[in-house]
Amino acid sequence: MADTITMQVARYRPGQEAEPVFQSYDVPLRKEWAVLDGLNHIKDHVDGTLSYRWSCRMGICGSCGMTVNGSPVLSCATFLTDYAPGPVRVEPLRNFPVVRDLVVDIGDFMAKLPSVKPWLIRDDEPPEGEYLQTPDELDDYKKFSMCINCMLCYSACPVYALDPAFVGPAAIALAQRYNLDSRDEGAADRRDVLSSAEGVWACTFVGECSTACPKGVDPAGAIQRYKLTAATHALKDFLLPRGAR
């Protein structure tokens, strides 16, 4: 195995480039090095002007999402040896405005997330003790609770690429995480957003969001499951008088 590997990194510096360009760097090829380690080597030893986001290096914070050789991945969990002999092409996440180099503007996602109210909503008074929940009730929503807001699913989603108004896979999956929680009573509060034209009905079920998800959340499954819920509610609204629903 070679001692080094070439990383072709997208650079976009407002005021210097009109559009992104690629710059090549040779970095050590070590078995334990992830793509993020290669970028840190570039920033620490070669070019301190390189900009990108990262925090935990453990696949938990979700901040180091990038496009590597055409696929959206967590750069801390994607290893350079998997791309040997190279080159490794590193670009910002697709479908988001680029702020600088590998840093994207996530404002659209952050604005949409609270619209689905991803928190427990209760109408009655809380109990004196705990909200009891069975293992089966936990299993019903546990998968959807693993989302780390890395936005790889938005980068992979062809619907979001064509229609930025789409609420998006992660936000819908997080809404389902609470809709399916036995302690929650807020499904009706989320219905208007989820059932809208920009909600689940915008999804064409390509499934790339679930393929890209590093945590196995399966946002495509969450969307399809809510389509059935939305259709059921729409049928009830059409057939039943208001007092009988």
In the chain, which segments carry CATH 1.10.1060.10?
A: 107-244
Percent of the chain with pLDDT over 70: 98
Alpha helices in 116-242 (DSSP H): 135-142, 152-156, 158-162, 169-179, 187-194, 208-212, 219-239
* Domain 107-244 classification at class level: mainly alpha
Please tell me the predicted confidence (pLDDT) of residue 57: 92
Of 151, 149, 156, 159, which is closest to residue 198 (Cα–Cα)?
A: 159
- pLDDT of 115 strictly over 80: yes
- pLDDT of 8 strictly over 80: yes
The string of pLDDT tens digits covering residues 191-212 is 999 999 999 999 999 999 999 9
Please tell me the predicted confidence (pLDDT) of residue 242: 65
pTM (two decimals): 0.92
Of 113, 228, 102, 98, which is closest to residue 169 (Cα–Cα)?
A: 113
- Residue 151 · residue 109 · CB < 8 Å: yes
CA angle 210–53–144, rounded 5-degree value: 25
Please tell me the predicted confidence (pLDDT) of residue 200: 97
Please tell me the predicted confidence (pLDDT) of residue 107: 96
The string of pLDDT tens digits covering residues 33-83 is 999 999 999 999 999 999 999 999 999 999 999 999 999 999 999 999 999
Please tell me the predicted confidence (pLDDT) of residue 15: 85
DSSP-derived 3-state class of residue 202: helix
Please tell me the predicted confidence (pLDDT) of residue 41: 98
Please tell me the predicted confidence (pLDDT) of residue 216: 95
- Residue 104 · residue 92 · CB < 8 Å: yes
Please tell me the predicted confidence (pLDDT) of residue 243: 58
* Half-sphere exposure in the Cβ direction for 109 (13 Å, CA): 22
- pLDDT of 245 strictly over 70: no
The string of pLDDT tens digits covering residues 88-98 is 999 999 999 99
Q: Which CATH superfamily is domain 4-104 in?
A: Beta-grasp domain (3.10.20.30)
Alpha helices in 143-201 (DSSP H): 152-156, 158-162, 169-179, 187-194
First CA to last CA distance, the chain: 67
In the chain, which segments carry CATH 3.10.20.30?
A: 4-104
The string of pLDDT tens digits covering residues 135-190 is 999 999 999 999 999 999 999 999 999 999 999 999 999 999 999 999 999 999 99
Question: Where is pLDDT greater, at 236 or 148?
Answer: 148
Of 76, 79, 81, 50, which is closest to residue 65 (Cα–Cα)?
A: 76
- pLDDT of 241 strictly over 80: no
- Mean pLDDT on 216-224: 96
